[in-house]
């Protein structure tokens, strides 16, 4: 039995709000209550809508949901014990087992609570409790409390989206004549656009809008110095070496999986990159992995995914609309498909996936490359632990490696591995908030098969 904060040999402890003043502490103390308050306000603002749709039941549901969320906010702010879930969803048991696991880790001296336990766990748990509050009030159970922010991010980024779709159209027009070097140039640009699309995330901004106003293609070179690890050439060579003749006679990699992060502008950058991968013949199929309920304010759900493609189709911008129709065709043909396994909205570190979600692990093993978008995925890849910055990426992965994988992440949490000796210290002296500002990024690759 491990003592309270004793961890597996050589594995550092989980980031936690128990470290007063840490980013985890500031998130749990300030940002999470702010997000909860915005959720409560959003539900209250839609009271009339619920009444119109559901009559008195809608009013009752609104009141009940707000009372449950206010209770949750009070539990959080007063560091009450984390409670078992009661909504009887298929994953409820898994969540409650994970709570027991956390309790065993901490020992029975203190209960699992917001300011004493792992930050990754309590933050994920908060979003699952928001979902429980809605599920316990059926008339409004399928209401997406984060929808307004996600759609606003899309609408505010229209200039950037139009510029990207126009660029993509130009690339696709004569794509068969492009040399491999030219293909690599476009690959690199659109990979970087997808990487920096991750800056637009509403949970770091606690819901403040932070959409992309200008064309991201214009700023790629100025952003290059802020990329701390750049394994893009390894991503490219993995795709090239995976090329094999398909039924159509075209040589392509079979499948690239994109574990999505945020809706709005970031999702469009992912769809554009995926379109390029298929149009260029670098990949035959794309699996998109999204969330099965609203998560971390701006993460992609099936509704967001379908809505974004419909909106892109419906625009009166020629190349944007053409892209939207192409994406709908990819879905109809099975070239693209959307998947939302419950594991992505659970609190587990990814090194647990093989044991706790073997079906999902097996699915990812079928990919030639898995791209993980964003900061929360990076935190789960590395277990959200207090690693030294020079620890190797695959050490932090702790055996997770279903396929060649790459994290495309802007830094918004104080966990970062795989840096050169002295690189972290230099960054801290130059820019103390480098790990949490979203200004810096990594393209970090690992191929377990190359060991």
Ligand X SMILES: O=P(O)(O)OC[C@@]1(O)O[C@H](CO)[C@@H](O)[C@@H]1O
Please choose, from the candidates 128, 184, 166, the residue with its C-alpha nearest in 3D space to the C-alpha of residue 322. 166
Contact stretch for ligand X (CB under 6 A) within 132-140, 315-323, 371-379, 389-397: 371-379
Question: How is residue 27 annotated by DSSP?
Answer: I
Nearest approach, Cβ of 206 to ligand X (angstroms)? 8
Q: In degrees rounded to 5, what are phi and psi of residue 248?
A: -75, -5
Q: Residue 91's closest CA among 79, 81, 82, 99? A: 99
375 binds, among Mn ion, ligand X, none (CB under 5 to 8 A by kind): ligand X
* x/- map, 55-94, ligand X, by CB under 6 A: ----------------------------------------
| 75-to-28, 36, 65 alpha-carbon distances in Å | 12, 12, 15
Q: In angstroms, give the least distance from the CB of 265 to ligand X.
A: 12
Work out how close the CB of 27 gets to ligand X at its nearest, in angstroms, rounded to a whole number.
5
Question: How many CB atoms sit inside 10 A of residue 404's CB?
Answer: 24
DSSP alpha helix (H) spans, 231-342 = 232-241, 265-279, 302-314, 318-333
- Quick one: 324 or 374, whose CB is closer to ligand X? 374
Comparison of 252 and 444: residue with beta carbon closer to Mn ion: 444
User: Residues 372 to 391: which contact ligand X by CB under 6 A?
Assistant: 374-376
267 is an interface residue for ligand X by CB under 6 A = no
Q: Give me the residues paired with residue 370 across strands.
A: 257, 405
> In this complex, which beta carbon is closest to ligand X, that of residue 262 or of residue 269?
262
* Contact present, 249 and 289 (Cβ < 8 Å): no
Q: Does 412 interact with ligand X (rule: CB under 6 A)?
A: yes
Give the number of other CB atoms < 10 A from CB of residue 379.
24
Angle, helices 302-314 vs 318-333, to 10°: value is: 140
Q: Which is nearer to ligand X, 278 or 413 (CB)?
A: 413
Q: Which does 412 bind (CB under 5 to 8 A by kind): Mn ion, ligand X, none?
A: ligand X
- Closest contact distance (angstroms) between CB of 103 and ligand X is 23
Counted residue by residue, the chain has a size of: 451
List the structure tokens of 22.
């840490």
Site track for ligand X across 295-324, x = CB under 6 A: -x----------------------------
Quote the CA–CA distance of 162 and 321 in Å, as a whole number.
9
Among 262, 308, 312, 346, binds ligand X (CB under 6 A): 262
Q: Please tell me the distance from the alpha carbon of residue 320 to that of residue 323, in angstroms, as a whole number.
A: 5
Among 91, 261, 349, 352, binds ligand X (CB under 6 A): 261
Could you tell which of Mn ion, ligand X, none binds residue 31, using a CB distance below 5 to 8 A set by kind?
ligand X
The one of ligand X, Mn ion, none whose footprint includes residue 413, by CB under 5 to 8 A per kind, is ligand X
Instruction: Looking at residues 121 to 180 of the shown chain, list those that interact with ligand X (rule: CB under 6 A).
Output: none
Contacts of 346 (CB under 8 A, 6+ apart): 91, 94, 95, 98, 124, 128, 356
Q: How far apart are CA 233 and CA 159, in angstroms?
A: 29
Query: Comparing C-alpha atoms, which of 203, 217, 40 is closest to residue 129?
Result: 40
Residue 27 sits in the site that holds ligand X (CB under 6 A): yes
The yes or no reply on residue 261 touching Mn ion (CB under 5 A) is yes
Helix (H, G, I), strand (E, B) or coil at 46: coil
**Residue choice 196, 288, 293, 296 for contact with Mn ion (CB under 5 A):** 296
**Smaller CB separation from ligand X, 261 or 270:** 261
- When binding is defined by CB under 5 A, the residue of 27, 262, 292, 416 that contacts Mn ion is 262
Binding mask 186-205 for ligand X (x = CB under 6 A): ------------x--x-xx-
Stretch that binds Mn ion, among 148-156, 174-182, 199-207, 404-412 (CB under 5 A): 199-207
Q: How far is the CB of 268 from ligand X (least distance, A)?
A: 15
Strands 251-259 and 369-373: parallel
| Whether 265 contacts 212, CB under 8 Å | yes
Give the side-chain half-sphere CA count within 13 A for 97.
8
Q: Which residues bind Mn ion (CB under 5 A)?
A: 201, 261-262, 296, 299
* Binding footprint of ligand X on the chain (CB under 6 A): 27, 31, 198, 201, 203-204, 261-262, 296, 374-376, 412-413
């Amino acid at each position: 039995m491990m003592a309270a904060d004793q961890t597996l040999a050589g594995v550092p402890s989980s980031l936690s709000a128990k470290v007063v003043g840490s980013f985890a502490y500031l998130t749990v103390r300030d940002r999470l209550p702010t997000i909860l308050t915005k959720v409560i306000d959003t539900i209250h603002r839609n009271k009339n809508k619920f009444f119109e749709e559901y009559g008195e039941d809608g009013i009752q549901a609104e009141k009940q949901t707000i009372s449950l969320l206010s209770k949750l906010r009070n539990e959080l702010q007063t560091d009450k014990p984390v409670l078992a879930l009661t909504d009887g969803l298929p994953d409820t048991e898994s969540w409650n087992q994970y709570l027991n696991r956390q309790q065993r880790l901490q020992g029975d001296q203190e209960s699992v609570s917001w300011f004493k336990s792992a930050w990754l766990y309590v933050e994920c748990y908060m979003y699952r409790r928001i979902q429980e509050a809605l599920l316990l009030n059926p008339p409004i159970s399928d209401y997406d409390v984060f929808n307004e922010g996600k759609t606003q991010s899309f609408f505010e980024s229209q200039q950037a989206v139009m510029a990207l779709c126009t660029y993509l159209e130009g690339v696709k027009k004569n794509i068969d004549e492009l040399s491999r070097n030219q293909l690599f140039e476009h690959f690199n640009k659109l990979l970087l656009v997808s990487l920096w699309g991750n800056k637009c995330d509403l949970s770091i901004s606690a819901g403040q809008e932070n959409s992309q106003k200008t064309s991201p293609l214009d700023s790629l070179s100025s952003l290059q110095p802020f990329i701390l690890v750049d394994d893009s050439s390894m991503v490219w060579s993995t795709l090239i070496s995976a090329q094999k003749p398909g039924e159509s006679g075209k040589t392509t990699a079979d499948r690239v999986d994109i574990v999505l992060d945020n809706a709005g502008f970031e999702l469009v950058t992912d769809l554009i990159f995926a379109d390029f991968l298929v149009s260029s013949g670098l990949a035959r199929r794309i699996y998109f992995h999204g969330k099965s309920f609203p998560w971390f304010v701006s993460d992609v759900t099936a509704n967001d995914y379908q809505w974004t493609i419909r909106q892109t189709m419906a625009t009166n911008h020629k190349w944007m609309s053409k892209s939207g129709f192409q994406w709908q065709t990819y879905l109809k043909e099975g070239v693209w498909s959307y998947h939302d396994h419950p594991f992505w909205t659970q609190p587990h570190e990814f090194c647990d996936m093989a044991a706790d979600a073997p079906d999902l692990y097996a699915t990812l093993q079928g990919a030639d490359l898995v791209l993980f978008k964003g900061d929360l995925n990076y935190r789960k890849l590395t277990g959200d632990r207090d690693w030294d910055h020079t620890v190797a990426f695959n050490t932090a992965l702790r055996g997770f490696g279903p396929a060649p994988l790459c994290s495309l992440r802007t830094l918004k949490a104080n966990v970062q591995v795989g840096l050169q000796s002295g690189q972290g210290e230099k960054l801290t002296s130059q820019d103390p908030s480098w790990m949490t500002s979203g200004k810096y990024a990594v393209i970090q690759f690992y191929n377990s098969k190359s060991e």
